Structure 1
Amino acid sequence: MAEAQAGSGTQSGILGWIERSGNKLPDPVFLFFWLIAILVVVSIAASLAGLSAAHPTEVDADTGAATVITAQSLLSAENIARLWVEMPQTFTHFHPLGYVLVVMLGAGVAERAGLFGTAMRAGVRNAPIYLLTPIVAFVGMMGNLAADAAYVVLIPLAGIIFHAAGRHPVAGIAAAFAGVSGGFSANLLPGQLDALLFGITEASVETVFGDFTANIAGNWYFIAAMTFVFLPVIWFVTDKMIEPRLGPWNPSMAGKAVSPEQQGEVADGDRALSSAESKGLRWAGLAVLFVVGLWLFFTLGPGTPLIDETASAEARLTPFYQSLVAGFFLLFLLAGWAYGKAAGTIEDHRGLVKMMAGAMEDLAYYLVLAFAAAHFVAMFAWSNLGLILAVNGADFLGNSGLPAWALLTAIILVSALLNIFVGSASAKWALLAPVLVPMLMLLGISPEMATAAYRVGDGATNIITPLMVYFPLILIFCQRWQKDFGLGSLAATMLPYSVGLLLAGLAMTIGWVVLDLPLGPGAEVFMEVPTTVDPTGPASAE
């Protein structure tokens, strides 16, 4: 790691400027605290200036005139009292917090028991040479369900497997990195990221329009399609651009000899699964089938507890959508437990509880970040600036005559650019969502579509910014096979992937909007413009 950091300081040009500029930014936690301080100053100035907006659909019951929303100073007596009195509530009611904690309780067991690592190894070890690249890329995108495990297990393993197949190990690392990080949102199943982002989306809607329930499966069809759109891009770039550029792999070249440690890794990466591991995967598969069957029973069985028979046709499946967070918790938990018991990595219930506690320990930093982000989102709502900006921004964009696909294209490009400087997906969405989501809703674009557009831009530039938390680690993986491989080499290797994924994501988004395809169960691109606004925000409404 020290070698990567030392090398990174000598970069020049655009890459060096990006790195130096990004390094000057504070930690995302303090970035939110600084933004809160700026927000306080802006709210005071906006309040003194009488900044306001007339809501386009709300009218005053007495006068019949349009409802006027005015900016509120965050240093008013009411808001100061709200800050200190409601601080525990502001933190604990931050929607992403509960979603992520619940899902990670299960996912932490699956990761620590070894299910994710074994499943990824099983998915790539016997791949035919000509299908090695797409299989590595596909497993990488699916491996996002395992969060950090995909970075530390699959990416170095891909280099080992490519070497064992006589191909350049760095090409394998690049393909896996592109799948895991460039295709960060692409997957056949919703997972932890969906819970995290839609929690922020839900909070952003509620700051303006009051009560709203996010659908964690609201991007399911979109991210599944993204998987198959990104797969040929990664395959083409790896086999036709990156591997020819790297040249034939020759371990005997000066400075590139394979060490005894690497030889051991090759043998381990290419070894067959043990009988215990195979048995664990079978048991985990049965556990997954059990959970899926259980949810089908709850949805379609007697009493239909996950279907509200009394609601309108559009709202009947609301309990089902709300149950998906718990569903993924149970799926990961039981699959991880079944694997661990069969493979011998979990001895008894005490080991299971210890793994769940370890998953919570890993979220310590996220809890600190969530505390800062929760207060930024809440105070943004108290100031009314989000609503005012959304209304005025919607008026401006509506009068511009830009079609929906052009607006969403702009969001994708802004997200991709911002991602170069702020690596955290949740931190960026917590910054953008309070303005973008309500603004697009006032233009008739759904929160699910806004979230989907953000995800396209967020993943594309993950793989070219040195500020991405795993970027130095990927560099170390490459240097184990090619000692003269520097930061610029990694950025240059990954740039074609970034451009290709961004262009493919843009084309897919535009086509999705033009064809008006459903984004997920019960989630559409467009929606009716909301006719009600809760100017007090969710906190005071309680």
Structure 2
Amino acid sequence: MSTPTTQSTGSQDGPAELPRTLRALAVVERAGNALPHPFWLFWILAAILAVISTVLSTMDVSVVSPKDDKTVVVRNLLSGDGLAMAMSTAVENFATFGPMATIVVVIMGVAVAERSGFLAALMRVSVSRVPASWVVFAVAFAGTVSHVASAAAYIILVPLGGMAFRAVGKSPILGIVVAYTAIASGYDASPIPTPNDTIFAGITTTAAKIVDPGASVSAVSNWYFNIASSFVLATVITLVTRWVLAKRPDLDADPDADLDDVADLRLSPRDLSAVRWAGAAAGILLVALAIVVIPSGSPLRGEGGSLADSPFLDGVAGIVAVLFTVVGVVYGWRSGSIKAPSDVPTLMGEGVKQMAPVLVLFFAIAQFLAYFDWTHLGDVIAVSSADALKTSGIPIVVVFLLILVVMSVVNVLVTSGSAMWSIAAPVVVPMLMLLSVPAETTQALFRIADSGSTAITPMSPYFVMALGFLQRYRKNAGIGTLASYTLPLAVAMTTVWTLLFLAWWALGIPLGPGAPVR
């Protein structure tokens, strides 16, 4: 893969609006580069929180808590009590941070499936065995499914998108764009529970406890919405690609580009057999799980046979981890990538090792959220904002749209979903809960903002990675080139996804098991 460049590619590489796009992207890039690493960003936010809490506590700012109708006063983080709390609870804050243990468990299972080669093989099969007329939808839908592999989805599927399009006589440049945009702007719309689901659920639960101490948001609380979203977004990508992008005059690869890569899509008979065995193993596990869970008297159900508050939902992260471990082991055994039982914990360890930067970030996030909760600033902002919105009479749909716009803009600069949600959730989740909006609904709204603008921001490291893959076929492609391709897709996806959310809200359809939208 050649080194990505950022120069303008001239009028031949984009529409007439490209220079304006380039100027806007340059501003975004400079602003984003000025931001500190998310680890330090949270410590800076903690310092700002300390100053604000000092000022507000001096002013005796308070609200009446909706939890118990008691007066809640802002506490000074720089006081003796505040410093003692910060010092004595640092380890506990990290150890009890909701998403941490769950994400480690899920990643251990996903790592076995990924590093055994199963996920890469599955993606090859999914995009190589479809008719030419369906290849756009197949690559787009594979992009939403690929999120189970987290960041590895970009590395595996983006180049495969170019190969798949080339194999059916379409532009490989278009294949790169479709695959990248499907992953980036549909990142939180997977029909299969992903590691991100567990992270978001943990952060949402922590934020919801500001209003309801007994609140609990599961990793599958948005599952129904995610399934529908993945199909809708894949359809949107297909239509925009056919009606808009496919009509561009600049889709041809360079004359000297290396196009001899179609064979990479095909699996060996041994690997194909391994995929079938792994699929059969997954089917057996899912049938067995259904047999155990479906009966109303199942031990995996809650009180009165409920699934909403049950051991099944409480343990869904572990179930997902076991499922991925089993299919990975079966695939590895049949393909030869796993030769001994000792290979399995080694693969798990490699997956956890890859998560080390995220765990380091979690330490900073956990401290900030603990400080925010202790100062009661979240209660004050949530109650005051909710009261102001009630008084103003602004329709809740307008509130949704305002929050969506603000978070979408922030996402252009803060591309880490867990970082952005950690900042936003303690404010918007309790605020909307006081307006009778469930925490799960606010989380679903965040998913749209966290995904939509990702495909167009050069601040994402995967944008640069996708540009590198694009340059295999167009050497002089730059940031503006890729952005001019992804912008129509990203805008259409965000618009339609928002309309889907509003329709879901209006119809009152549950977002997931035990998660009413209203």
Look up the match of 1:98: 101
Q: Deviations over 1:389-411 (max 9, x none)?
A: 00001101112222222222222
Look up the match of 2:263: 267
Out of 152, 155, 167, the position equivalent to 2:155 is 152
Per-residue deviation, 1:95: 0.4
Per-residue deviation, 1:330: 0.4
Per-residue deviation, 1:297: 3.9
Look up the match of 2:197: 194
Look up the match of 1:47: 57
Structure 1 counterpart SS, 2:298: coil
The answer on whether the counterparts of 1:221 and 1:520 sit within 8 Å (CA) in structure 2 is: yes
Structure 2 counterpart SS, 1:69: strand
Out of 15, 30, 33, the position equivalent to 1:20 is 30
Per-residue deviation, 1:316: 6.0
Q: Does 1:87 align with 2:81?
A: no
Give TM-score, length-normalised by structure 1: 0.90
Q: Deviations over 1:381-439 (max 9, x none)?
A: 00000011000011011122222222222222122111100000110000000011111
Per-residue deviation, 1:5: 5.5
Q: Deviations over 1:40-78 (max 9, x none)?
A: 11111111111111235743xxxxxxx211100112222
Alignment of 1:8-407 (within 5 A): 13-55=23-65, 58-59=68-69, 67-247=70-250, 249=252, 251=253, 255-259=254-258, 262-263=259-260, 265-269=261-265, 271=266, 273-300=267-294, 304-308=298-302, 311=303, 317-407=309-399
Distance 2:144 2:296 in 1: 37
Distance 2:171 2:109 in 1: 36
Q: CA RMSD in A?
A: 2.0
Q: Deviations over 1:344-379 (max 9, x none)?
A: 110011111110000011001001100000111110
The answer on whether the counterparts of 2:308 and 2:513 sit within 8 Å (CA) in structure 1 is: no
Give TM-score, length-normalised by structure 2: 0.94
Per-residue deviation, 1:300: 4.0
Structure 2 counterpart SS, 1:519: coil
Per-residue deviation, 1:312: 5.8
The answer on whether the counterparts of 1:409 and 1:510 sit within 8 Å (CA) in structure 2 is: no
The answer on whether the counterparts of 2:108 and 2:348 sit within 8 Å (CA) in structure 1 is: yes
385 and 149 in structure 1: CA distance in 2 versus 1, 3 angstrom threshold: same
Per-residue deviation, 1:231: 1.7
Look up the match of 2:409: 417
Letter aligned with residue 471 of structure 1: F
Distance 1:218 1:186 in 2: 13
Look up the match of 2:11: none
Q: Return 5+ residue gaps in structure 2 as ranges.
A: 9-18
Distance 1:279 1:2 in 2: 34
Count of aligned pairs? 508
- Which one is further off, 17-26 or 281-290? 281-290
Distance 1:384 1:113 in 2: 47
Structure 2 counterpart SS, 1:349: coil
Distance 1:373 1:208 in 2: 20
Per-residue deviation, 1:329: 0.6
The answer on whether the counterparts of 1:404 and 1:513 sit within 8 Å (CA) in structure 2 is: no
The answer on whether the counterparts of 2:4 and 2:467 sit within 8 Å (CA) in structure 1 is: yes
Structure 1 counterpart SS, 2:244: helix
Letter aligned with residue 439 of structure 2: P
Tell which has more relative contact order, 1 or 2 (C-alpha 8 A, sep 6+): 2
Letter aligned with residue 4 of structure 1: P
414 and 313 in structure 1: CA distance in 2 versus 1, 3 angstrom threshold: farther
- Which one is further off, 407-416 or 385-394? 407-416
Letter aligned with residue 154 of structure 1: L
